[in-house]
Structure 1
Amino acid sequence: MNETVIKFGYPETLVREYEHWVVLVRPSQPTLGSLVLAAKSDATEYHDLPDAAFAELKQVVIAIERALREFTDYAKINYLMLMMVDPHVHYHVIPRYDGARAWNALAFEDAGWPAVPALGEAVKLDPAGIAAMRTALSSRFA
């Protein structure tokens, strides 16, 4: 795995692994169910991904959206490809909703709604919280 995937806690944060992609629990949760969708390749530019990664991406996005719809009942979903600090191809997947969601005795407010996600205002999951969210989300992937 590349350094970006490792930095986001792989393998402890792993929700689902595909041939070219991994879906990870985002340890810092600006909204409930925030994920990292990361390419397994060493590519640091989007166009450098192999063609098969682009083809597989549709299947991965469908699975993410189904799982998060059930888990968070989001109104919108944002895919943010920032790649400023962590150089390998990845997206921050942020479910969006008006108000707050509760899970595992924690409250997750979408502080940026309806504008840009407030990434700095996030619930930081401890290792037990990461494990619980990973389990809850993994069971929702087809």
Structure 2
Amino acid sequence: MNDTIAKFGYPATLIAEYDHWVVLLRPAQPTLGALVLAAKSDATAFGDLLAAAHAELKVATSAIEAALSQAVGYTRINYLMLMMVDPHVHFHVLPRYDGERMGAGLAVTDTGWPGPPDLAQAVKLGDAQIAALTGWLKPYFA
């Protein structure tokens, strides 16, 4: 695993794993169910990923969308590839909705709805909340 994956709390935040990608709980939740979809490789440019990683992106995003649809009931989903601080290829995956959603004892309001996501208002999770949300979301990926 690369440094970007480690920075997002792997292995404690691991929700699903594929050959070329991991799905991690985002430790700061701008919306409930916010994830990080990170490439396992050391690539720092999207175009540098192997063709197999690009093909597997279809599998990973389909699983993410099905799982978050059930868990959160989002209206839209945003994939943000920012890579400004953390250089390895990864997306911030944000389910978007009007109002508040609850899961694993945590309530999160999408404060940016219906505009761009408001990352500054993210709920920062403690270790117990990370464990609870990760445990809550994993079965949706089974």
TM range (shorter): over 0.9
Within a 5 Å distance, the mapping from 1:1-142 to structure 2 comes to: 1-142=1-142
Distance in 2 separating the partners of 1:83 and 1:36: 12
Distance in 1 separating the partners of 2:117 and 2:39: 22
Distance in 1 separating the partners of 2:44 and 2:140: 30
Q: CA RMSD in A?
A: 0.8
Distance in 1 separating the partners of 2:76 and 2:106: 21
Letter in 1 for 2:49: L
Letter in 1 for 2:104: N
Q: Secondary structure at the match of 1:93?
A: strand
Q: Secondary structure at the match of 1:120?
A: helix
Inter-CA distance 108–68: structure 2 relative to 1 (3 Å threshold): same
List, as ranges, runs of 4+ consecutive aligned residues in structure 1 with deviation greater than 3 Å. Answer: none
Distance in 1 separating the partners of 2:2 and 2:103: 31
- 1:123 deviates by 1.0
Q: Secondary structure at the match of 2:66?
A: helix
- 1:90 deviates by 0.1
Out of 131-140 and 47-56, give the one that drifted further.
131-140
Once the two structures are aligned, what percentage of the paired residues are identical?
63
* Contact map agreement 2:104 2:136 (CA 8 A) in 1: no
TM-score w.r.t. length of structure 1: 0.98
Aligned length: 142
> Where do 5+ consecutive residues of structure 2 fail to align?
none
Letter in 2 for 1:96: R
> Where do 5+ consecutive residues of structure 1 fail to align?
none
- 1:98 deviates by 0.4
- 1:104 deviates by 3.2
